[in-house]
Amino acid sequence: MLGKGVVGGGGGTRAPKPSFVSYVRPEEIHTNEKEVTEKEVTLHLLPGEQLLCEASTVLKCVQEDSCQRGIYGKLVCTDFKIAFLGDDESALESDETQFKNKIIGENDIPLHCVDQIYGVFDEKKKTLFGQLKKYPEKLIIHCKDLRVFHFCLRYTKEEEVKRIVSGIIHHTLAPKLLKRLFLFSYATAVHSNTPTNPQNHTVMFDTLEDWCWELERTKGSMKYKAVSVNEGYRVCERLPAHFVVPAPLPEESVSRFQGHGIPIWCWSYHNGCALLKMSALPREQDDGILQTHKNFLDGIYRVIHRPPYEIVKTEDLSSNFLSLPDIQTAYSKFKQLFLIDNSTEFWDTDIKWFSLLESSSWLDIIRRCLKKAIEVIECLDAQNTNVLLVEENASDLCCLVSSLVQVMMHPPAFEFTETYLTVLSDSLYIPIFTTFFFNSPHQKEMNLGREAQDAHSTPLHLLTVWDWSVQFEPRAQTLLQNPLYVEKPKLDKGQRKGTHLKHQRQLSLPLTQSKSSPKRGFFREETDHLIKNLLGKRISKLINYSDELQDSFREFYDSWHSKPADYHGLLLPHIEGPEVRVWAQRYLRWIPEAQILGGGAVAMTSRLVGMMEEVRSLQEKINERHHHQRALPAEAPSLLRSSARLSSLFPFALLQRRPSKPVLPTSGWKALGDEEDLARREDEFVDLGEV
Amino acid sequence: MPGCSRRPGLRPESSRQVPPASRFSSSKSSSMASAPTSKYNSRSLENESIKRTSRDGVNRDLSEAVPRLPGEIRITDKEVIYICPFNGPIKGRVYITNYRLYLRSLETDSALILDVPLGVISRIEKMGGATSRGENSYGLDITCKDMRNLRFALKQEGHSRRDMFEILTRHAFPLSHSLPIFAFVNEEKFNVDGWMVYNPVEEYRRQGLPNHHWRITFINKCYELCDTYPPLLVVPFRATDEDLKRVATFRSRNRIPVLSWIHPENKTVIVRCSQPLVGMSGKRNKDDEKYLDVIRETNRQISKLTIYDARPNVNAVANKATGGGYESDDAYHNTELFFLDIHNIHVMRESLKKVKDIVYPNVEESHWLSSLESTHWLEHIKLILTGAIQVADKVSSGRSSVLVHCSDGWDRTAQLTSLAMLMLDSFYRSIEGFEILVQKEWISFGHKFASRIGHGDKNHADADRSPIFLQFIDCVWQMSKQFPTAFEFNERFLMTILDHLYSCRFGTFLYNCESARERQKVTERTVSLWSLINSNKDTFKNPFYTKEINRVLYPVASMRHLELWVNYYIRWNPRIKQQQPNPVEQRYMELLALRDEYIKRLEELQLANSAKLSDPSTSPSSPSQMLPHVQTHF
């Protein structure tokens, strides 16, 4: 296979220029006789799920060791998913399959997870949408969780091809009414027989008590109060029924502009400083209205900015930060880098990988998000000021920044693993969970709440993604827990008293800023500036950020990084270019070429888990000897331990590759440009002809 | 500290004093957490200075002696301003010895120490002059081989700059001033002799050689066949010494094909050599052709012998003009030739220069990725790894024996054979195995360390200099990154090798070939780097190492997995500091210690139990006293 010219077009012969998609002709695809007799694989339907259409003798093409393998089976489309039913399970006897999702099988694509559908016509790949005049020989489905499926329809009956292709296109791409979301059929079908899981204690923040609890927990209750002014969504549909505002704020001001212009509490830091968010007042031209707005905001501002006791800095996320379209564009480009159809495409993009990554600007966006969060933290932590995040509707970048700030500032962090984040991101597209399918609590309640249902019927069975047992068996769930994580050691009484006192002091004494000047930084503290911003006369772009800002940020950042990290305190990420990298597990997990067999960080983690198990069993032995206790039944070894050699993409690597065979780049060198002269030089300046 | 340390007093600290907690007993965790900090720090040169400062930290007055190796002689000291690119000017005193430049800060709020072996210096320049303005304008700019520059400002009066310039020039470039390289005056003693690590006969015996098809020849005992090869060579049994002599006439610099490695089972081999002297006229040599066929037949394979020419096709063709070339199909019937497209030493040198441009002193921020791409550094790494993977795969699959060459067979060839051997043979992934690999494939087979590094030579612009060995170590690092449990050594081991590649403290990397080393009696007159390493082995061990015999490692040579070795190339920048030790490693070390303790305790309990059985009157001690921390949960 390593013919001349494969690598870098050497050996005098040039490798043929790869065509856009290098498809293997169906007759070249290996199929076992056994497989042709389409094994009966039953379709697993969820409660309430309905089969819509199906097609037989579909060939699923799997890339293996840089050649393709085909599996015959049935392609079906239900109101929940597209599924391929074929005898594909043969090679999957390894432990890796134990990280199985109970809802989404290996060959299942939830309709919401479909990102793009392509058809292949005469070896050309075209995006499919709307009514088709001609039906493709092959269907390529790119998923939002970055899987890529190839279904060859050449052996399928024409009628079935028409039905399945148009069915899939219709059910995935046509706009859908919220009411027709699969969630509803599922919840209705399931409610009668399943009790809700009582063990799930995730706080949903949908009651006043939840907010009061959170205020108590963060010791914010002295300065902030939970309000129910929006109960029944009387004030606005955008805000939840219960939320938290500064204690002195009169409740009636909330309704004045439908909740706009109201600082809403997100979280309090242990030094008493709080993170707040606010949706901006609508932009107005009329001077009279502007004046009213100004007076209103003046009043609000006096409540939250009372130097020297309370200082607030505002951060206008609509004007000094990323825009939503920027983020969308970047992600569209970025994800495309991982939706790879075949090996040729992988190696072709490999040569210019870094510039492709850079031109997507996704990593730069990630860096800017992290940086913004650190800037906010610097105010809260180093400057002892409150921070007010302002955005049009306070529901996009506000969420992003405020949650990042809390993750970095709020101990203890990272009990979960990278895998947890990956499956969380996958859960965005599974419409049996209510968690991510509504725009607001109001919308959710209108559709699912008591009012939405018949008076007689029992309440719907609603699932949240936080109940991980719905998707994973207990053993698989252990992969969501970070084996390195250690709980914060319990403080002794004296220490606890100390932190308590700190809070007291800050309430009674003027805040002393650790930074020299309160004017420091780009956060404009003066009332005027705040008002100007909120009124839409955004002038920030005209103001040059002082160097001082960059200095204080850098100083804070450098000083933190120069000390050893305490994993139960503030955690700041590195944001320098070389340190912000692609999230390999999520993005590379389905790409066979990117697998390191027996390698990757997982090799280290599995050693660690093994050692933990060894220590635990020794501990038990010692206990046993002392207390003459019987040893507890040994826990099942972790999934990480059970397989000797895992792939770097564990637990997602379901693509097989024989470990004895290396992956080799199929396209080589890019032009050196200005270095061509050097490249032509001899290593040593000796004429060998004379030797 | 790399370059310089941060000035303290930036901001009173908030909440970060608590050391990383352990779930195990608190007494345990505090001692565990603090102990490994310096031990597992991988910035080796810098780390030495940290250790030194902390060791002597109690008594830090200025009269304190500069660290000195046995045989190191103090030459001068001067008050200077060190212009730290990260924290600005710092006043200090610089001490120059025949081995190092050592600077200690004279400012109370800075603990800065610079400890730079003079061997690392590539170039010394004067900046500014009597007419230039500003206090920092009259100084020296020192370019180092290890990715940094040092700038000092000196007082204009008293010729202090001229003195420093002259002294530094003399001792940094001893060869240009008829002075000995420091390795020859170094009187360090170690309890292990690193020169004993590599014994070619033993290494070949480990590989099962000689056997029916391969013999050891002493034809080069006095370097009469090839002056850049080692005295001992392994060649096909069927080739006589006379054959070898005839083949030598047709191979550049007489570097004939000789065995590097043999597969223990399928008996395919990796053979290395230089290019054939084909020339413009397309000369042929029957002996060479026959010799290659003999090699092919050693493992009774019917398939063709695979030849990997490391160069790009065009360069191989161009080499014909100067008498070189490659094995053509018509002359070598039973061979199959592939070009691996790896560029020459000049391209690599320029590429590394570009890497330095984007990382020192400041890391290119806004366009980091495209800047990195434009250096081509990782692309070169990718091609080298790809080539080595192909060599290893060919041999491992038993498809055919492999012959590797480039032009002279001492740069790219060494990279390819040694990396392929590292992939194929787990022995080379141990600390001593790796030392043997370097000693064999690089040092004994005449990689021109002296020319490529320019030890003690002032000619910084010499076109012979090139970071070929660094590139090899980078490839090894990339592999160890992809297979974190497969190597016995850690990152610090690789960095220490690189630091002493330049330092001239050890004889290991001096001179271009074995014949020169023998003339200079290097093994008698200098200390080996492996003496230092092997007498401190624990420092260089990877705790995650899992020995696996016969496992072939194929790294993924994709840009998706190749990374710039930040801990090496950007180690002088205090901002780009990786967590040291890394939390996974730290936790693992804690667990290892705990395991050992538990095992000990269990043994004690067993003893106590048997004692109790024999003497029933002894009451067992209270469990809570004996096991204060076993109760803690996981």
- The structural domains of chain B, with segments of one domain joined by +, span 74-172, 200-570
Instruction: Find the CB nearest A569 among B11, B18, B583.
Output: B18
Q: Compute the distance between CA of residue A404 and CA of residue B415 in angstroms, rounded to an integer.
A: 45
Residue in B closest to A667 by C-alpha:
B383
Neighbours of B168 (CB within 10 A): 21
CATH code, A147? 2.30.29.30
**Terminal Cα distance for chain A, rounded:** 38
Q: Does domain B74-172 have CATH number 3.10.310.30?
A: no
**Site from B16, B366, B621 to mutate, A interface, most A CB atoms within 10 angstroms:** B16
Query: Would you state the pLDDT for residue B26?
Result: 36
**Whose structure tokens read 């014949």?**
B515
Residue A450: per-residue pLDDT: 60
Amino acid identity at A306: R
Q: What share of chain A is helix, strand, coil (3-state, %, to 5)?
A: 40, 15, 45
Do the Cβ atoms of A611 and B482 come within 8 Å? no
Is the pLDDT score of B370 beyond 90?
Answer: yes
> Comparing A15-19, A213-217, A303-307, B578-582, which segment has the lowest mean pLDDT?
A15-19
pLDDT greater than 60 at residue B387: yes
Within 512-571 of B, beta carbons closer than 8 Å to A belong to 544, 546, 551-561, 563-564, 566, 570
Once rounded to an integer, what is the mean pLDDT over residues A513-521?
Answer: 37
Tokens of A511: 């805040």
Nearest residue of B to residue A352, measured between CA atoms: B373
Q: What is the distance between the alpha carbons of residues A514 and A517, in angstroms, rounded to a whole number?
A: 9
Q: What is the pLDDT of residue A541?
A: 34
Express as a percent the part of chain A with pLDDT over 70: 73
Task: Tell me if residue B584 falls in helix, strand or coil.
Answer: helix
Considering the domain architecture, whether residues A295 and A343 belong to the same structural domain is answered as yes
Question: Which residues of B does the annotation place in the binding site?
Answer: 344-345, 406-412
Q: In this predicted structure, what is the pLDDT of residue A264?
A: 97
**Crossing angle (nearest 10°) for helices A362-377 and A353-360:** 60
**Alpha carbons A255 and A236: distance in angstroms, whole number:** 8
Give the pLDDT score at B619: 45
DSSP B135-204: TTSSEEEEEETTS-EEEEE--SGGGHHHHHHHHHHHHHSGGGGT---GGGT-----SS-GGGS--HHHHH
Query: How close does chain A come to B83, measured CA to CA in Å?
Result: 19
- Model confidence at B29: pLDDT above 90: no
Q: Is the pLDDT of residue A539 over 70?
A: no
Cβ-Cβ contacts under 8 Å, B313 against chain A: 8-12
Q: List Cα–Cα distances, A283 to A289, A292, A524, A537, in angstroms.
A: 10, 12, 20, 9
Amino acid letter, A293: H
B628 touches chain A (CB under 8 A): no
pLDDT surpasses 50 at B225 = yes
Model pLDDT, residue A668 = 58
Which residues of chain B have a CB within 8 Å of the CB of A4? 336-338
- In one-letter notation, the amino acid at residue A659 is P
Q: Mind listing the pLDDT tens digit for each residue in A442-466?
A: 998 888 766 555 555 666 778 899 9
Number of independent structural domains in chain A: 3
Q: pLDDT digits over B151-183, tens only?
A: 999 887 778 899 999 999 999 999 999 999 999
Q: Which residue has the tokens 């300065």?
A: A223
* Average pLDDT of every residue of chain A: 79
Distance from CA of B508 to the nearest CA of A (A): 23
What are the tens digits of pLDDT across the range A316-359? 999 889 999 999 999 999 999 999 988 889 999 999 999 999 99
* Residue A219 CB-density burial (10 A; 0-12 exposed, 13-18 middle, 19+ buried): middle
- Whether the CA torsion B409, B414, B419, B420 is positive or negative: it is positive
Tell whether A575 is covered by a domain.
Answer: no
Residues A166 and A273 in one domain: no
User: Hey, what amino acid is at A388?
Assistant: L
Among A450-459, A469-478, B52-61, B354-363, whose mean pLDDT is lowest? B52-61
Output the pLDDT for position A455.
Answer: 52
Residues sharing a CB contact under 8 Å with residue B237, sequence separation 6 or more, in sequence order: B210, B212, B213, B214, B215, B298
Question: What gap in Å lies between CA A31 and CA A35, rounded to an integer?
Answer: 6
Q: Do A2 and B338 touch (CB under 8 A)?
A: yes
pLDDT exceeds 50 at position A509: no
* Angstroms from B428 CA to nearest CA on chain A: 18
Q: Look at residue A686 in the predicted model and tell me its pLDDT.
A: 54
| Token duo for residue B236 | 């096909």
Determine contact: B111 vs chain A, CB below 8 A: no
Beta bridge partners of B256: none
pTM comes to 0.86
pLDDT at B558: 95
* Whether residue A221 sits in one domain with residue A149: no
Between B401 and A622, the more confident residue is: B401
Counting beta carbons within 10 angstroms of the beta carbon of residue B212, is it exposed (0 to 12), middle (13 to 18) or buried (19 or more)?
exposed
Considering only A57-66, A370-379, B350-359, which range has the smallest mean pLDDT?
A57-66
Binning pLDDT at 50, 70 and 90, where does residue A199 land?
Answer: low
If one counts every other C-beta atom within 10 angstroms of the C-beta of residue B633, the result is 8
Distance CA A382, CA A505 (A): 17
Query: Domain range holding A592?
Result: 584-617
Note the pLDDT of residue B147: 96
Residue indicated by tokens 């600005």: B88
Query: In angstroms, rounded to a whole number, what is the distance separating the alpha carbons of residues A7 and A99?
Result: 37
Query: How far A509 CA lies from chain B's nearest CA (Å)?
Result: 19
Whether B14 sits inside 8 A of A4 (CB atoms) is: no
- CA-nearest of A142, A164, A144 to A153 is A164
Q: What is the C-alpha separation between B558 and A593, in angstroms, rounded?
A: 8
What was the pLDDT predicted at A23?
43
Give residue A630's pLDDT: 57
Q: How confident is the model at residue A658 (pLDDT cuts 50, 70, 90)?
A: low
Give every CB contact of residue A9 below 8 A, 6+ residues apart in sequence: A15, A668, B313
Residue B42, pLDDT above cutoff 70: no
Q: Any alpha helices (H) in A194-341, and if so which ranges? A: 208-217, 252-256, 287-304, 324-336
Using DSSP's 3-state secondary structure scheme, residue A61 falls into strand
Rounded to an integer, the average pLDDT of B24-48 is 38
Q: Which residues contact B224 (CB under 8 A, 6 or more apart)?
A: none
* B559: nearest CB among A353, A514, A682: A353
Cβ–Cβ under 8 Å, residues A58 and A72: yes
Provide the shortest C-alpha distance from residue B134 to chain A (in Å). Answer: 23
Residue A505 lies in a domain: no
Work out the minimum CA distance from B479 to partner chain A, whole angstroms: 9
What does the pLDDT look like over B402-437, one tens digit per residue?
999 999 999 999 999 999 999 999 999 999 999 999
pLDDT of the residue at B30: 35
Residue A545 confidence (pLDDT) above 60: no
B337 in A contact zone (CB under 8 Å):
yes
Residue A332 in domain: yes
**Chain A / chain B CB contacts < 8 angstroms:** 311
Q: What is the mean pLDDT of residues A516-521?
A: 36
Q: Which one of A374, A678, A681, A688 makes the best mutation probe of the B interface by having the most chain B beta carbons within 10 Å?
A: A688
Mean pLDDT, to the nearest integer, of A160-186?
89
Q: Is the pLDDT of residue A527 over 60?
A: no
Binding-site residue numbers of B for substrate are 344-345, 406-412
For residue A282, how far is the Cα from the chain centroid? 31
Of all residues in chain B, what percent carry a pLDDT higher than 90?
A: 74
Closest CB to B560 among A560, A588, A672: A588
pLDDT in tens, B506-515: 999 999 999 9
Q: Which residue has the tokens 């709440």?
A: A449
**In chain B, which residues have their Cβ closer than 8 Å to the Cβ of A691?**
252-253, 277, 323
Q: Are residues A143 and A265 in the same domain?
A: no
Long-range contacts of A16-23 (CB under 8 A, 24+ apart): A18/A344, A18/A348, A18/A667, A19/A123, A20/A123, A20/A124, A20/A125, A21/A120, A21/A123, A21/A124, A21/A125, A21/A341, A21/A342, A21/A345, A22/A342, A22/A344, A23/A120, A23/A123, A23/A138
- Place B120 in a pLDDT band, splitting at 50, 70 and 90: very high
Final residue before a domain boundary, out of A157, A175, A193: A175
Whether residue A228 is contained in a domain is answered as yes
Buried b (16+ CB within 10 A) or exposed e, A273-301: bbbbbbbbbeeeeeeeebeebbebbeebb
Residues of B marked active site are found at 406
Chain B residues whose beta carbon lies within 8 Å of the beta carbon of residue A665: 382, 386, 557-558
DSSP string covering A654-679: -S---TTS----SS-PPP-GGGHHHH
Q: Is the pLDDT assigned to residue A636 strictly greater than 90?
A: no
Given this model, what pLDDT does residue B399 score? 85
Is A245 part of a structural domain of the chain?
yes
> Among partner residues A487, A611, A663, which is closest to B592 by beta-carbon distance?
A611
Confidence of residue A632 (pLDDT cuts 50, 70, 90): low
Q: How far apart are CA A289 and CA A315, in angstroms?
A: 24
Higher pLDDT, B614 or A555: A555
Q: Indicate the residue of B350, B369, B630 with minimum beta-carbon distance to A678.
A: B350
Residue A186 has pLDDT above 80, yes or no: yes
Between A647-661, B29-43, B481-495, the lowest mean confidence (pLDDT) is in B29-43
Q: Is residue A554 part of a domain?
A: no
> Quick one: pLDDT at residue B54?
37
Boundary (domain end) residue, out of A175, A198, A221: A175
The pLDDT of residue A144 is above 70: yes
Mean pLDDT of B229-251: 97
Confirm or reject contact between B384 and chain A (CB < 8 A).
no
**Listed residue (B511, B506, B566, B579) closest to B147, CA to CA:** B566
In this complex, the residue of A566, A576, A683 whose CB is nearest that of residue B20 is A566
Q: Which residue has the higher pLDDT, B24 or B420?
A: B420
Residue A525 pLDDT level (bands cut at 50, 70, 90)? very low
Contact B370 A607 (CB under 8 A): no
Q: Classify strands B305-309 and B335-339 as parallel, antiparallel or unpaired.
A: parallel
Tens digits of residue pLDDT in A671-683: 666 677 888 877 7
Query: Mean pLDDT lowest for which of A268-277, A287-296, A640-649, B165-174?
Result: A640-649
Between A21-25, B254-258, B414-418, the lowest mean confidence (pLDDT) is in A21-25
Neighbouring residues of A304: CB distance < 8 A, sequence distance ≥ 6: A246, A263, A276, A310, A312, A386, A388
* Boundary of a domain, candidates A151, A175, A199: A175
* A465 and A343 assigned to the same domain: yes
Contact criterion met (CB below 8 Å) for A102 and A470: yes
What values do phi and psi take at A398, rounded to 5?
-60, -45
Which regions of B398-474 does DSSP assign to beta strands (E)? 402-405
